[in-house]
A and B are shown apart, each in its own frame.
Chain A
């Protein structure tokens, strides 16, 4: 059945993939791919109003909406029109057997007037509600806890001012709410009230979206190889998943800021089950026993890519280049010796991550991670993202961070088993990828896109108008 799906006007790229991931969780394998989308007539793709067909009944729609962060509501659409006259005609034509069960005398209901890109005064709202008298409501009005909520939603044809996506034509929708997002999660989990955070802790809304992309749910095991203060695992644990994390920084994972302010206390704070394990390990040299594979249901992480925090791996810089031979640690110092680390380039880090995921994810498991993009390049080129023969890319969601760079949340599904041949192929592809990307990754383009001035010889390097402004502003 087709529903009207209304989104919050934020994180535009993340909205449809989130719904599809949740369909996969509640509708079973393949349900995510079975979701179909349409735009209402004359609506821009960035409009908050989408039409969605879900592979299941109303319960599925409600489950998706209730767990979602970006779905404002999913509605059974009773009618739409460019004017209130057209809306009336449409609602009257909508079959009675779909309407009457929700209009019975013993039911309670409420009508809510909502709008996008405009303000409707209280008086106008009342007039709109009174204008719906042609719908045979027989139930009792209950503003606090109604059984049925009906929405009138209006947009105007204001062009593209306001920093909002262009809506070509005024549209009025009328629908019955089937489910709505619970954004109360966000004030509960916001970082400013969390005990232990670091400079790169993941914003809680994004962490929840990542956990949704990773299909985190009870009985599933989620791993974050760059766990830090655990901000991603907290979100996964909230959705009932078991969690495991590793980090190369011993101070973060072992000590935190004291006995009541560390990675464990973050889970305690929200009454969540603590991670199955937190260990200090190097993503470049993972300490898993030979032959161990297909353990994790999802790997969800924000790899260090050198903007806020640079990656590190074992072995000194000169040591890895072969200029010096390894420092031999004297016996008496082995217990307390702090090994030196070398910078860990993004390309290498992503390669190790894909390798780890290919081996350690179950079939159908998901790898969800952030990947930085310099927006001065042409962004539409998909080959820009790392690839692996075991994985299929199912979603890439851009979050614009500045005029010049953004990060993309990649969601990949493991579609092929991990074998030695596959690993050889992956090495090959990685080499090509590395050659293509060495330039902007390794030579500091990313860093300069973030930190150096945007102008060169008095001319901006980047055309400010090439992307819609509202994206930079609200996304």
Chain B
């Protein structure tokens, strides 16, 4: 599971109001490099919850990767930023798409219910007594 997915997922069990952001406990993670697509990042940026992403990045073991406050669009998409190793867009790309959580747990912030991540696949299925009527 990449952190992009973490940014979108919430606990939707009975009795929970927002169930977001999910806590992240990491047992095993890896970095897999992929090609950067600036158009994709530009499209996805306004949909992100920055604080949840920064927190998840720290929880995954990269506390210095992202600043606490979201950089401006101009900083992200400055000319040639994608080629520059340490640029905001490179860091965002790494955080969203290159960190993989292979084994770990997602934790509902309200109920404490845990959702396991096994072999990179988060299991968001609810038990019978957790489904909203």
Interface residues of A (CB under 8 A from B): 218-219, 221, 242, 244, 248, 250, 253-255, 264, 273, 276-282, 285-290, 292, 294-295, 314-316, 319, 326-329, 334-335, 337, 339-340, 362
The answer to whether B10 and A287 have CB atoms under 8 Å apart is yes
Q: A221-B40, A339-B126 are in contact. Are A288 and B10 (CB under 8 A)?
A: yes
What would 5 A/B residue contacts be, using CB atoms closer than 8 Å? A289-B8, A289-B21, A315-B128, A326-B131, A327-B129
Is there contact, CB below 8 Å, between B40 and A316? no
Measured between beta carbons, the chain A residues less than 8 angstroms from B128 are: 314-316, 319, 326-327, 329, 339-340
Q: A273-B34, A288-B9, A289-B8 are in contact. Are A280 and B125 (CB under 8 A)?
A: yes
CB distance from A74 to the nearest CB of B (A): 29
Give the residue name and chain of the B residue nearest to A295 (CB): B47
Binding site for A on B (CB under 8 A): 1-2, 4-5, 8-12, 18-21, 34-35, 37, 39-40, 43-44, 47, 49, 97, 116, 118-129, 131-132
Least CB distance, B53 to chain A, in whole angstroms: 12
User: Could you tell me if B2 and A276 are in contact, using CB atoms closer than 8 angstroms?
Assistant: yes
Least distance between A448 CB and chain B CB atoms (Å) = 31
Residue of B39, B40, B119 touching A254 (CB-CB under 8 A): B119
Chain B residues within 8 Å of A339, by CB: 125-128
User: Which single residue of chain A is at the shortest CB-CB distance from B17?
Assistant: A290
Contact A276 B129 (CB under 8 A): no
A292 near B47: Cβ-Cβ < 8 Å = yes
Residue of B nearest to A326 (CB): B129
- Smallest CB-CB A-B distances: 5 pairs: A289-B10, A277-B5, A326-B129, A287-B124, A219-B39
Contact B11 A277, beta carbon cutoff 8 Å: no
Instruction: Give complex CA distance A335, B118 in Å.
Output: 13
A282 near B125: Cβ-Cβ < 8 Å: yes
Excluding A219-B37, A248-B125, 6 further A-B contacts by CB distance (< 8 Å) are A219-B43, A278-B120, A281-B125, A289-B8, A334-B127, A339-B127
Query: What are the residues of chain B within 8 A of A314 when measuring CB–CB?
Result: 125-126, 128, 131
Cα–Cα distance between A282 and B122 once the two chains are bound (Å): 12
Q: For B127, what are the chain A residues with a Cβ–Cβ distance below 8 Å?
A: 329, 334, 337, 339
Among the listed B35, B39, B97, which residue makes an inter-chain contact with A276, where contact means beta carbons less than 8 Å apart?
Answer: B97
CB-nearest residue of chain B relative to A288? B8
Which residues in B have their C-beta under 8 angstroms from that of A278?
Answer: 120-121
Contacts of A290 in B (CB 8 A): 10, 18, 20
User: Is A315 a contact partner of B131 (Cβ separation < 8 A)?
Assistant: yes
Chain A residues with CB below 8 A from B116, complex form: 335
- The reply to whether B4 and A276 form a contact with Cβ atoms under 8 Å apart is yes
Q: What residues on B are CB-neighbors of A218 within 8 Å?
A: 37, 39
Which residues on B sit within 8 Å (CB–CB) of A329? 127-129
A362 to B12, CA, bound (A): 23
List residues of chain B with CB within 8 A of the CB of A254. Answer: 118-119, 121, 123
Contact call A242/B118, Cβ cutoff below 8 A? no
User: A285 — which chain B residues lie within 8 A by C-beta?
Assistant: 12, 126, 131-132
CB distance from A103 to the nearest CB of B (A): 42
Please judge, given known A-B contacts A255-B119, A289-B8, whether A280 and B124 are in contact too, CB under 8 Å.
yes
A255 neighbours in B (Cβ, 8 Å): 119
Cβ-closest chain B residue relative to A247? B121
In the complex, which of the residues B8, B40, B122, B125 has the most CB atoms of chain A within 10 Å of its own CB atom? B125
